[in-house]
A and B are shown apart, each in its own frame.
Chain A
Amino acid sequence: MKHLLSTQDLSATDAIRILDTAEEMAAVGEREVKKLPALRGRTVVNLFFEDSTRTRISFEAAAKRLSADVINFAAKGSSVSKGESLKDTAQTLAAIGADAVVIRHWASGAPHRLAATDWIDAAVINAGDGTHEHPTQALLDAFTMRRHWARLHGTESQGTDLSGMRVAIAGDVLHSRVARSNVWLLRTLGADVTLVAPPTLLPIGVEEWPCKVSYNLDETLQAGVDSMMMLRVQGERMNASFFPSTREYSRRWGFDDTRLRALDELGLKDTIIMHPGPMNRGLEISSAAADSPRSTVLDQVRNGVSVRMAALYLLLSGDTREAVPASAQPGATTQSTKESH
């Protein structure tokens, strides 16, 4: 594994390896000295072409806990606003000596471009690209679900997957990279995923995805759900009207107080409510639901640091001596596939 770009090509073994490593990283957060020397002397660049609070802070905390040097780059106030291309930015970072680039970009596929070209020879981690993928968010969601699922079954979470877990993901699937990454990853880990959204907020081709699709949140809840994930309505990406009014949206597809009570009435006492944040309180999730004991919103943030530590550690601690000559020659594909094993 040289890059972390997508959950679609992540095998179950690799996913479980990341989650297991994250479990050990979480233990570090509970110690007196919350720091490990594993990435001492390595440089991690946070390359953010799009606004972000939790993802950037989370990656920064993760890299610092592993003793890496962190350079934060925000497109605003940089040469990007003077028209610098992604290629030139990447080559600048390469010249500075970045070992890993955490990239968030408004264009779907920008991280893949960075990884596939010889602009920069660093591990690339996709921290969200357009409406495509957000693999570390999916991994931290899976980590949170796996802990919950293991606790319910009275086992250790190490080495387990999500077999049999019923996950519903509701809201703005069309614009959500979180939903895409989650569908692939949760399916790989054995969970049953149902997407719930108004037809206007589902992407074309969703019937090909390895999940069920529903237009009715109440019916989905009645069928039984172990984890209810609400997605943010992404107003900033909406260039047309996808639903008549926010009020209608929250009544039909939002997780409101009535549906929170319905969970108790349906006897779903162990169902957790997840949200990747930032939340639009009162739109896709009510305050009572967001602050209820079922809510894992803050656990997700906390687990995000552990999962990102695991990803950085696994990507950056490999054998770097061979990686350098192999990728110095662009044609050396056979060599790089051998390395990943």
Chain B
Amino acid sequence: MTDVAAPVPSRVVLNQGDIDRALTRIAHEILEANKGSKDLVLLGIPRRGYPLAVRLANKIAAADPAVDAAAIVGQLDVTMFRDDLSRQPARPPYPTKLPKSGIDNKVVVLIDDVLYSGRTIRAALDAIVDLGRPRIVRLAVLVDRGHRELPIRADHVGKNLPTASSEKVRVHLEELDTVDGAPVNEVVIEAGA
């Protein structure tokens, strides 16, 4: 997935420290907006939203000892709800795993790495409706790169990145990615082909 035929000029816009600080801030913003940790559920969107959700849950648990990080994190696959299924090569779905307490009457925070057209989030909202009825749904993203195609905005943003639509934003997280064999945490902008 990350292998590119020819090296493309790229620049790092967030390094490991930047990502960590952004997530710490978002974790506190989530607690602040919710006035505490009551009823919080963090749902990460595969693939890179899920490790981010786990990291955020750990940070929330560190800030509020009453929280069990593992009990508030879940994964929400939106593949089958996308509106571009007949325009892209078939992709196998990822597992959807909800916390034991479910999502009914909870405050669900959707977590994704990059907010772009907004279509993934639209699909996620549809997927949530089929799973239950949360009291509130919020959205937290590591990077908002603009170019929205739907009336969707994030409640918590790690960094607003003005980009050209020809550029590619790649998020590398050590849970899933290695570059040259070493695990990395960084956000990279690649120039368009």
Is B87 touching A321 in the complex (CB atoms < 8 A)? yes
CA distance A319 to B87 in the complex (A): 4
Are the C-beta atoms of B131 and A32 separated by less than 8 Å? yes
Contact: A36 with B88, CB < 8 Å? no
A268 contacts the other chain (Cβ, under 8 Å)? no
Smallest Cβ-Cβ distance to A158: which chain B residue: B95
**Chain B positions within 8 Å of A314 at CB level:** 90, 92
Residues in B with CB closer than 8 Å to A39 are 85
Interface status of B130 (Cβ within 8 A of chain A): yes
B102 to chain A, nearest CB (A): 10
In the assembled complex, B144 has its CB within 8 A of some CB on chain A = no
Are A317 and B92 in contact, CB atoms less than 8 angstroms apart?
A: no
> A25 contacts which chain B residues (CB < 8 A)?
93
Enumerate chain A residues within 8 angstroms of B92, measured Cβ to Cβ.
Answer: 17, 20-21, 24, 314
Q: Contacts A17-B92, A21-B92, A314-B92 given; indicate if A37 touches B87 (C-beta within 8 A).
A: no
Among candidates A21, A32, A66, A321, residue contacting B130 with C-beta atoms closer than 8 Å: A32
- The number of residue pairs between A and B whose CB atoms lie closer than 8 Å in the complex comes to 59
A20 to B79 alpha-carbon distance, docked (Å): 14
Distance to closest chain A CB from B94 (angstroms) = 7
Whether the Cβ atoms of A24 and B130 lie closer than 8 Å is no
For residue A37, give the distance in angstroms from its CB to the closest CB of chain B. 6
Contacts of A36 in B (CB 8 A): 80-81, 130
Most buried by A among B89, B126, B132: B89
Q: Are A37 and B132 in contact (CB under 8 A)?
A: no
Residue of B nearest to A33 (CB): B130
Total A residues in contact with B, Cβ cutoff 8 Å: 27
In chain B between 100 and 131, which residues have their CB closer than 8 angstroms to a CB of chain A? 126, 129-131
Q: Are B86 and A27 in contact (CB under 8 A)?
A: no
Whether B132 lies near A32 (C-beta < 8 A) is yes
A46 CA / B85 CA spacing, docked (Å): 22
B96 at the interface (CB under 8 A from A): yes
Chain B minimum-CB-distance residue to A320: B86
Whether the Cβ atoms of A21 and B93 lie closer than 8 Å is yes
Nearest-Cβ distance from residue B78 to partner chain A, whole angstroms: 11
CB closest residue in chain B, given A18: B92
Q: Is the CB of B130 within 8 A of A38?
A: no
Once the chains bind, are B85 and A38 in contact (CB under 8 Å)? yes
CB of A319 within 8 A of CB of B88, answer yes
Provide the bound-state CA to CA distance between A321 and B91, in Å: 16
Q: For A319, list chain B residues within 8 Å (CB).
A: 86-89
CB <8 Å contact, A27 and B96: yes
- Shortest distance between the CB of B3 and any CB in chain A (Å): 15
User: How many whole Å from A199's CB to the nearest CB in chain B?
Assistant: 43
> Which of A32-78 touch B at CB < 8 Å?
32-33, 35-39, 42, 66
In the complex the two chains form, is B90's CB within 8 Å of A317's CB? yes
Interface residues as binary, B57-92 with A (CB distance below 8 Å gives 1, 0 otherwise): 000000000000000000001011100011111111
- Interface pair B77/A24, CB less than 8 Å apart: yes
Contact of A318 among B90, B94, B96 (CB under 8 A): B90
Give the A-binding residues of B (Cβ under 8 A): 77, 79-81, 85-96, 126, 129-132
- Give me the 4 closest cross-chain CB pairs, A-B, nearest first: A33-B130, A38-B80, A36-B80, A24-B93
Given contacts A21-B92, A37-B81, 11 further A-B contacts (CB under 8 A): A24-B93, A24-B94, A36-B80, A37-B80, A39-B85, A314-B92, A317-B85, A318-B86, A318-B89, A319-B89, A321-B87
